[in-house]
Amino acid sequence: MSKLVPPHGSPELKPLLLAGDALAAELQKAQGLKKVPMTTRETSDLIMMGIGAFTPLDGFMGRDDWKGCCDDYRIPSRKGLFWPIPITLSAQQDVADSISKGEEVALWDLETEAIMGTMKVTEKYGIDKDCECKQVFRTTDPAHPGVQKVMEQGPVNLAGTVKVLSESYYPEMFAGIYQRPVEARQVFEERGWSTVAALQLRNPMHGSHAYLAWVAIEVCDGVYIHQLVGKLKPGDIPAETRVKAIDALVNKYFRKDRVVQGGYPMEMRYAGPREALLHSVFRQNYGCSHLIVGRDHAGVGDYYGPFDAQKIFNEIPADALVLRPLCMDWTFYCYECGSMASMKTCPHESKAVIDENGAYQGGARLLLSGTLLRKLMSEGKPVPSEFSKPEVIAVLKEYYDSLEQKVEVKLHGFATGEAKK
């Protein structure tokens, strides 16, 4: 009997990825079907369904489920199952008009030009994009990368059950990191773990990330460093570089029997609080009992308060998730304490002053953030040694030195501590 938390809304994982003869037959059939182009976000969602990370979904949502998800975090077709962000597939009007209800179509990835799956279309419907953005992202500002994706969608959503035919390039490109839920659960079981804290990462691990992971290990059997290897917004560090940087830190500064690394193919939506809930849903499918939720989880810019992603767990029904949040306060390096600390533990409130050469000039708290780290590295400025381990900085320096064109990284208020808590 497993000691791990059950999958979300199901006694067992429900992967939709075909294999063997069934895969060969479906691939052959797909060649003769009409193609429905998919964006990178839609492709990554399809793969998440394929590997069982989106258990118990069996396809792209219809209108009632889309609306229930936006309005009430619920999927009506699944007896009101909790789900925080719509999983939908859009199409241009001419493509939608050419498809009949009940028709099977091939799902075609625009980026790789590969057939990724098939779907039996059960519904075609339009949506209010402003409504979705207001509820999911709390904004309709087109500068928000998640809003931009929704606004660029086709005018018609297609719904239906899917069969997944490929995991794209992820298993090969991220061999050793890319992991399906069943594989992660097997590792946790072999180690005898029952409580597992997931650490969501879209940045290399700086000092605050490592500190959060070490704290989680103190209260759980182990920590699952779960890296996003899907597509990010411009200015973010690509997955290949992040994997190298995290490897460098974990291999030297963590007990190997208390940490597991994994990668997942979902694309970031930067939906802040709502995305923290989606991260919880699929981390439960991976076998995690807890999700570390720190400052500005899954946020971007100043669209969310620094701890809105923690507060939202108090706003959802108590039975929504088995997984629980492991809420962490703002963390930083304190020169007075001589160590990493948080606002719950450190009495020294002055902000540390670092000169243009990266040297400490006075004050206590050095606030750490992935955005600030990217900005310093992209501009070739020295990074204070307290910011991250030298092995991580070396990997990032190699990456930034290799860029022919520097990417501008804009700081938001919560990255610097200038915005109100």
Cα(346)–Cα(354) distance, rounded to whole angstroms? Answer: 19
How many CB atoms sit inside 10 A of residue 286's CB?
A: 28
Q: What is the pLDDT of residue 412?
A: 53
Of residues 418 and 161, more confidence is placed in 161
Cα(16)–Cα(343) distance, rounded to whole angstroms? Answer: 44
Q: What is the pLDDT of residue 405?
A: 67
Cα(68)–Cα(246) distance, rounded to whole angstroms? Answer: 38
How much of the chain exceeds pLDDT 70, in percent? Answer: 96
Tell me the three state secondary structure of residue 332.
Answer: strand
pLDDT band with cut points at 50, 70 and 90 for residue 191: very high
Which of 169, 150, 126 is closest to 269 using CA atoms?
150
CA angle 216, 1, 276 (to 5 degrees): 35
Q: What is the pLDDT of residue 409?
A: 56
285 among known catalytic residues: no
The secondary structure of residue 351, as a DSSP letter, is: B
Give the torsion sign (CA, 27, 31, 34, 36): positive
**What residue ranges define each of the domains in the chain, with the CATH number in brackets?**
20-168 (3.10.400.10), 169-264+270-421 (3.40.50.620)
The torsion angles phi and psi of 117, rounded to 5 degrees, stand at -175, 180
Estimate the crossing angle of helix 145-152 against helix 129-136, to 10 degrees.
160
Residues 194-236 have pLDDT tens digits of: 999 999 988 778 888 999 999 999 999 999 999 998 877 777 7
Contact 254, 391 (CB under 8 A): no
Mean pLDDT of the chain: 93
The residue-averaged pLDDT of 333-346 equals 95
Residue 410 has pLDDT above 70, yes or no: no
Residue 414 has pLDDT above 70, yes or no: no
Asked if the bond preceding 56 is cis, omega within 30° of 0, the reply is yes
Residues 357-370 have pLDDT tens digits of: 888 999 999 988 77
For 383, the token pair is 């990074």
202 among known catalytic residues: yes
Residue 416 has pLDDT above 90, yes or no: no
Phi-psi region of 76 (alpha: psi -120 to 50; beta: other; left: phi over 0): alpha
Residue located via tokens 């029997």: 257
The secondary structure of residue 286, as a DSSP letter, is: T
Residue 7 has pLDDT above 50, yes or no: yes
Q: What is the pLDDT of residue 421?
A: 43
Contact 214, 220 (CB under 8 A): no
> Can you say how many angstroms the Cα of residue 254 is from the centroid of all Cα atoms in its chain?
23
Residue 419 has pLDDT above 70, yes or no: no
Tell me the three state secondary structure of residue 15.
Answer: coil
The residue-averaged pLDDT of 36-64 equals 98
Contact 221, 256 (CB under 8 A): no
Residues 268-327 have pLDDT tens digits of: 999 999 999 999 999 999 999 999 999 999 999 999 999 999 999 999 999 999 999 999
Estimate the crossing angle of helix 390-402 against helix 370-378, to 10 degrees.
50
The residue-averaged pLDDT of 337-342 equals 95
Residues 364-403 have pLDDT tens digits of: 999 887 777 778 888 888 888 888 889 988 998 898 888 8
Which of 204, 211, 197 is closest to 330 using CA atoms?
211
pLDDT band with cut points at 50, 70 and 90 for residue 344: very high
The residue-averaged pLDDT of 240-265 equals 92
Q: What is the pLDDT of residue 311?
A: 98
What's the whole-model pTM score? 0.92
Residues 79-107 have pLDDT tens digits of: 999 999 999 999 999 999 999 999 999 99
Residue located via tokens 């990330």: 209
Q: What is the pLDDT of residue 420?
A: 44
Contact 207, 368 (CB under 8 A): yes
Cα(361)–Cα(350) distance, rounded to whole angstroms? Answer: 12
Which of 217, 258, 271, 264 is closest to 242 using CA atoms?
264
Q: From the candidates 41, 180, 185, 203, give the one annotated as an active-site residue.
A: 203
Q: Which residues touch 76 (CB under 8 Å, ≥6 apart)?
A: 64, 65, 68
How much of the chain exceeds pLDDT 90, in percent? Answer: 78
Q: Which residues touch 389 (CB under 8 Å, ≥6 apart)?
A: 207, 210, 248, 249, 252, 253
Q: From the candidates 41, 74, 180, 202, give the one annotated as an active-site residue.
A: 202
Residue 176 vs residues 172, 182, 391, 412: alpha-carbon distances, Å: 9, 15, 20, 34
Which of 289, 265, 234, 41 is closest to 154 using CA atoms?
41
Q: What is the pLDDT of residue 413?
A: 52
Q: What is the pLDDT of residue 42?
A: 98
Q: What is the pLDDT of residue 10?
A: 97
